[in-house]
A and B are shown apart, each in its own frame.
Chain A
Amino acid sequence: MPSLDELLQQRTVYRGRQLAPPAPVRPSGFAPLDRVLGGGLPAVGVNRLQSPTGIGELRLLLPYLLAEPTRGKLLVFINPPGRPYPDFWYNAGVDLSDVQVLHTTDTKQALWSAEQCLQSGCCLSVLLWQNNLEVSQLKRLQLAAIEGGASLWWLQPPRRENISLPLHLSLLLQASSIGIQATITKRKGGWATAPITLDWRERWPEQTIAPLPANVRPLPSKRRRA
């Protein structure tokens, strides 16, 4: 029977108060999120973003993707819902020659490509748009990500069911008029949290709506006939 100290050394037992995440992190660029996540988003491993398309899920990742000098590592988009618009990424500070987009209709090929990119060691992050992934597939991707020191961000539309999946981090994103609302639904070595609202009014002023003063009431919108 090994003692508790031995188990702790073998990292088979975690202390409840232990906030330091097991994986190395990179600052997310948003202080409230970093505080909860113990320093930032995981730099290595498989993570999930559950989000409708267009509420700012990529803008949430931008500071994280640009956090460290990437030394010409690739940023791979697999089956994005549209092609990356060059002006946006240029303005954000991404070197366009480091962005690679892959389109394939075959799920198997998409996963194969993700695996190859992750374990190649020349990719910083792989963003994979995919409706569903199985546990075995995620485990394979997890191994590939650790081998290549890369992170996979799996973007998925929000789902009701909640099966435990081998993820480092799972975030549920919701739209908010002043920015975005992130809920940690799963975190390795940490706890799920209540929604955290990130205020983007300074960073992305065009994509936020100033809240109306309390004395202004919007007129009820005209109902359209179907």
Chain B
Amino acid sequence: MLWLYLHFPALQLDSLPATGQPRAIACNRRHVLVQINRAAQAEGLQLDMGLGLASSLCRNLEVHPYQDDFAPRRLQELAQRLYLVSADIMLFNPDGLLLKASPMLRYYHGLKHYWASLQHELLGERVQACGATDTQPLAARALARAGIECIGGDRQPPRWHALALAHSDLPGKAINQLQRIGVSNLGELVRLPLTELADRLDKTSIDYVQKLTGRKVYPTRFFTPAARFTRYRELECEADTTAPLMAPLARCLNALEDFLQTRDHVTATLTLQLLRRDRPAIHLKINAAQGERRAHTWQQLIELKLASLTLDAPVYAFRISAAQSYPRAKLVEDLFNAQTGQLERAELLSLLEAKLGPDALLQPSLNNDHRPEQRASCAGNRLTGDSGTPMQQRPSLLLDTPKATAEPLSIIHGPERITTGWWDQAPVMRDYYIARNRAGCWLWVYRPLQRSGSDRNWYIHGYFS
């Protein structure tokens, strides 16, 4: 089994717009540099360098704080992108992806093409990555983290034996202990018998060594793509107008188009959330008349929406999401019926549901209950097979909430007493009548029974429309 590990040394830095100036991401807690760009490297800065030293070495260093929640989110997006070219992906938070390479080689006719298509995708995401392959997942990880890019088949001799212990996932304490007994690289480590190591190292370290050499199987939990599209982007600098939003938005919309295209879906509503400094976020809903996935159409709609917006506080980030997407309508070609634009019923309903929300759609069903409300309830227990015999003399429309009335009515039929429902929280004790008002409307009216309280009003409950 061949595994490919991708290490992303500077995820957050890569997400910022390109610059020629030295720039670094610094950890808030330890005050050391965790990600630096080329220009900063040229100035002599290094990773894990203290902020004080860094700023004295490089006067015009641009420092951004490290965000804990950024990398996992970005990793999800990268996995989403790579999912199109590779099936089994495992996330290693916060900065790595493990890909199961061997099943994919068949489709790509070898590792070379597979790696080329992966690189192509990563180039599209504008992210630096270091890839390494090995027959063991953790060995590939150690290689990639060491910055050694080695893409080779499973026949080649393992190259991780020469790696220093610091590149492994062993805890610092264990590395210290091993260095004290003269073990400096991973090759020397795995050459030692396990029983001897067990005396010196703790359980997690032994576990790691076993997984590194393949004596223990590394547990795999593969990534499944998210069902809905959502993207969060921070702006380079806070924006007082909506114009600076458009470029990053366009990139997100392209990603949305790809997302929908691969599923053959469209969406009718996008939610755009503008996060503002010291003010509550603005929520915008952008609706399309019909399901749409093309980025430029959405961009036009968003531009229209944003044109009417005035910002009273600067925007520092936005989040865009498509709450629901549904299959694109296929055109049904009927040989005998020359009608165009035909939809399947399910497609129509999904379209309506996507636009109006699931609560707006109801389908009547016969429920096995004598109480009118429960009888006509649409949420109903449709699964109960016996729905009882349909009753005669029932209105065609039933009001959701009965309407109290005081107008003079002439009673034509009735009463029909419905007293039931004592077993649950909605008992009904009513006398129902069919009545006609002066305008000639046929009404289904009721009056609560004396016993059920002092309410003796007449209520309209339905129309014989």
Which residues of A are in contact with B by a Cβ distance under 8 Å? 52-59, 72, 74, 80-91, 96-97, 99-104, 109, 112-113, 116-117, 119-123, 147-149, 174-177, 206-207, 209, 221, 224
Contact = CB atoms under 8 A, between A and B. Distances in A.
Interface stretch (B19-27, B335-343, B421-429): B335-343
Interface in B396-440: 396-400, 408, 412-413, 434, 436, 439-440
Given A53-B463, A87-B391, A207-B442, A102 B361 contact: yes
Contacts of B345: 72, 74, 122
A2 B324 CA distance: 55
Given A122-B344, A206-B413, A85 B395 contact: yes
Contacts of B337: 149
A104 B356 contact: yes
A79 B436 CA distance: 24
B311 interface: no
Most buried by B among A120, A123, A148: A120
B390 A91 contact: yes
Contact of A103 (B362, B434, B463): B362
Nearest to A181: B440
B348 interface: yes
Given A83-B378, A102-B356, A102-B360, A121 B392 contact: no
Contacts of A103: 359-360, 362
A53 B441 contact: yes
Given A101-B362, A175-B441, A90 B395 contact: no
B441 A81 contact: no
Contacts of A149: 337, 339
A177 B364 CA distance: 30
Contacts of A206: 393, 412-413, 434
B260 interface: no
A101 B462 contact: no
B414 to A, nearest CB: 11
B352 interface: yes
The residue among A55, A88, A101, A221 with the most chain B CB atoms within 10 A of its own CB is A88
Contact of B376 (A55, A86, A112, A122): A86
Nearest to A155: B465
B405 to A, nearest CB: 12
B323 to A, nearest CB: 16
Interface of B: 289-290, 332, 337, 339-345, 347-349, 351-352, 355-356, 359-367, 372, 375-376, 378, 390-400, 408, 412-413, 434, 436, 439-443, 462-465
A123 B436 CA distance: 33
A119 B341 contact: yes
A91 B366 CA distance: 11
22 contacts: A53-B441, A58-B396, A58-B465, A83-B397, A84-B364, A84-B396, A85-B394, A85-B397, A88-B394, A88-B396, A89-B396, A90-B390, A99-B364, A101-B361, A101-B362, A101-B363, A116-B352, A121-B332, A121-B343, A149-B339, A174-B440, A175-B440
A56 B465 CA distance: 4
A119 B331 CA distance: 12
Contacts of A91: 390, 392, 394
A82 B396 CA distance: 9
B436 A209 contact: yes
Nearest first, the 7 closest Cβ-Cβ pairs linking A and B are A175-B440, A54-B441, A82-B397, A121-B342, A54-B463, A120-B343, A87-B394
A101 B356 CA distance: 12
Contacts of B359: 103
B397 A84 contact: yes
A54 B392 contact: no
Given A85-B397, A116-B352, A100 B361 contact: yes
Given A85-B376, A86-B376, A59 B340 contact: no
Given A55-B440, A97-B363, 6 more contacts: A57-B465, A85-B396, A89-B396, A116-B290, A175-B439, A206-B412
A96 B366 contact: yes
A97 B346 CA distance: 12
Given A113-B355, A147-B341, A56 B361 contact: no
B238 to A, nearest CB: 35
A82 B400 contact: yes
A160 B340 CA distance: 38
Contact of B375 (A59, A86, A123): A86
B462 A82 contact: yes
Nearest to A113: B352
A42 to B, nearest CB: 16
B288 to A, nearest CB: 11
Given A83-B400, A120-B348, A224-B408, A54 B442 contact: yes
A221 B438 CA distance: 12
B415 to A, nearest CB: 14
A41 B96 CA distance: 68
Q: Which of B337, B339, B351 has the most CB of A within 10 A?
A: B339
Contact of B365 (A96, A109, A207): A96
| Residue from A80, A82, A84 having most chain B Cβ neighbours under 10 A | A82
Given A85-B376, A121-B332, A224-B408, A52 B439 contact: yes
Most chain A beta carbons < 10 A, residue from B352, B462, B464, B465: B465
A147 B341 CA distance: 7
B399 A116 contact: no
Contacts of B397: 53, 58, 80-85
A72 B362 CA distance: 17
Given A58-B396, A97-B363, A206-B434, A81 B341 contact: no
A163 B273 CA distance: 44
